[in-house]
Amino acid sequence: MAIRDIINDTDPQLRKKSREVTEYDVKLHKLLDDMYDTMEEADGVGLAAPQVGILRKVIVIDTGDVFIEAINPRICGVAGSQISVEGCLSVPSNNCEVSRPMHVMAEYFDRNGTKVFKELSGLDARAYCHEIDHLNGVLFYDREYKGLQD
């Protein structure tokens, strides 16, 4: 396993859409292992493959309450809302308030290609949504909460 470089938000690669994963092989397993090690080394709770220069739909999350390796992740349903300050390993000098769902029904494949459905709430839901945004070329500050507008 290796620590990979995390690209920052000035890199145009972070604005591109990721492609679906079709092969569940040793190369994917290495990417997942490296992403987890990279996230841990950077003291993060989530990391998406585009952040390490790979335009594939792969994310890892470890909030302390939940550990997820998600391939081709989707959001099947949402409920409620939460507003909280977010940061990002690709944007180390910027934080802002972002509105996210409080509850998310997640659908993804694990490292072996088995479909998983999981209910996520609070920080787990926030991290899942944040990382999926990376797969679509969206950064958290694009969703900055501006409060109620008059």
Structural domains for the chain: 12-143 (3.90.45.10)
Active site residue 86: no
Distance CA 144, CA 70 (A): 25
- Exactly one of 23, 41, 119, 131 is catalytic; which is it? 131
Note down pLDDT in tens along the chain; length 150 residues: 799 999 999 999 999 999 999 999 999 999 999 999 999 999 999 999 999 999 999 999 999 999 999 999 999 999 999 999 999 999 998 999 999 999 999 999 999 999 999 999 999 999 999 999 999 999 999 998 887 654
- pLDDT tens digit string along 40-49? 999 999 999 9
Question: What pLDDT shows up at residue 150?
Answer: 47
Please, what is the Cα angle at 89 between 87 and 95, to 5 degrees? 20
The answer to whether the pTM exceeds 0.75 is yes
Largest distance between two CA atoms of the chain: 53
* Stretch (H or E) spanning 18: none
CB 117 within 8 A of CB 110: no
